[in-house]
Structure 1
């Protein structure tokens, strides 16, 4: 049964302060199971990763809409079946020690979370035109795969994807992603019934963090790689800090 998280920053919060960006930050190929090894090595208890759909609607981890940057594949990810995607090398670009690393499924990530006792922030990352179906299937998959674990925190830059996730799995907690927090942030997070607001640390200020937390929301700041900046954000009341530098922030 999914654990229900009540909105409000006075309620018990099941997530740690530090989150590993794209599984392992800069220490492993992004959005791969190799990142979990880095999390364990540096004591991280939560990962963030990106989930999207293959052409045949398999749930897998990848950030970009195209395969070129982080795999030996080419072209839009949404035009490839999972059988084609599963054969790609997703680690060679990051270093010889990662040659042969594969793209993981959402089920693979759930298994590692369970094995290592690590919580998850699943960013719903739809390819263009696939916002609703991606939000729906990621939420349904997360609800089933994380059964008995700390529920994953779903987030997205796409209002449509997060709204579909809300409708498909209303018991899972949600956080709306922004780069710079817009003036109408409260309307947006209220419509989505979010428990958290996620924003670039570069655009956060102490008064804004206080305002967001006063509304009953938790705050996640990304992508913070400087220890001094992380300490300042913590002093402001930021609840979660997403970082690429697991070796510097502890």
Structure 2
């Protein structure tokens, strides 16, 4: 199963409506996107701490209000055809996922651990208000605290821990946090580790894997979802 990374990051500006449209155009079931708070405590879809790389603006997302973020061009940095693409709120992203039939792996993007609980609380309120089915979501984060807050505020929604290095107590941690899935940097995965993860009853997701020739190997190892910037490239490797 192929999932788009930040929507479909090789095909459209990341974390945007255009990215979701590209994912839908290629008949994906899953997309991964990032959410964090802006200055007025509204969850918005953005990866970086600052808007500098992916918009025509400057400054930290957390220090700009929604009106300021909505005024930014979040598309022309990627390609002129995406000029005036706008930053999405989480509510807008959830609506789009429902419209296009996409399931969302929502990364809780924690840039300041002190704000993890507030972020998760606002995400929980948005999801509850939106009415999206829990079955259409996985909540994930690098932040163990954020995943624990997700369990507290949204126990009905599946949770995954993102790892760019392996904790020594990985499986104890997974059990104590009641994880549904582990989301690993694909370079960490071996056949043995994959086998242990599957035997522990966990879903196995890997990121960000853009090499078609490796797809058969990862599927043989039991990987459930491959998160990639270029979904059609990997879909060709399956077909």
TM-score by length of 1: 0.90
TM alignment of 1:29-68, pairs within 5 A: 29-68=13-52
The Cα of 1:213 is off from its aligned counterpart by 1.0
Tell me the equivalent position of 2:141: 156
CA distance in 1, matches of 2:178, 2:32: 21
C-alpha distance in structure 1 between counterparts of 2:218 and 2:7, whole Å: 22
Q: 2:161 aligns with which of 152, 169, 176?
A: 176
Contact 1:121-1:155 within 8 A present in 2 as well? yes
Q: CA deviation at 1:108?
A: 1.0
> How many residue pairs were aligned?
234
Measured on the aligned residues, the alpha-carbon RMSD in Å equals 1.3
* Aligned-partner SS, 1:112: helix
**How far does residue 149 in structure 1 lie from its aligned partner after superposition?**
6.6
State the TM-score, normalizing by the size of structure 2. Answer: 0.94
CA contact (8 A) 2:94 2:132 kept: no
Q: Which runs of 5+ in 1 are unaligned?
A: 1-16
In the TM superposition, 1:234-249 aligns within 5 A as 234-249=219-234
Post-superposition offset of 1:234? 0.5
Contact 1:59–1:105 (8 Å) recurs in 2: yes
Pair 1:92 & 2:68 matched: no
| Structure 1 ranges of 4+ moved more than 4 A | none
Partner Cα distance (1:33, 1:168) in 2: 27
The equivalent residue for 1:133 is: 118
Aligned position for 1:5:
none
Distance 1:207 1:146, change over 3 A: farther
- Structure 1 residue 94: Cα displacement: 0.2
Give 1:31 shift.
0.4
The CA distance in 1 between the partners of 2:232 and 2:75, in whole Å, is 20
Q: Which residue of 2 aligns with 1:105?
A: 89
Deviations 1:124-161 (A, max 9, x none): 00232311211222233234424347331000000111
1:72 Cα deviation from its structure 2 partner? 1.3
Which residues of structure 2 form unaligned runs of 5+?
A: none
Q: Distance in 2 between matches of 1:135 and 1:169?
A: 9
Is the contact between residue 209 and residue 226 of structure 2 (CA under 8 Å) also seen in structure 1?
yes
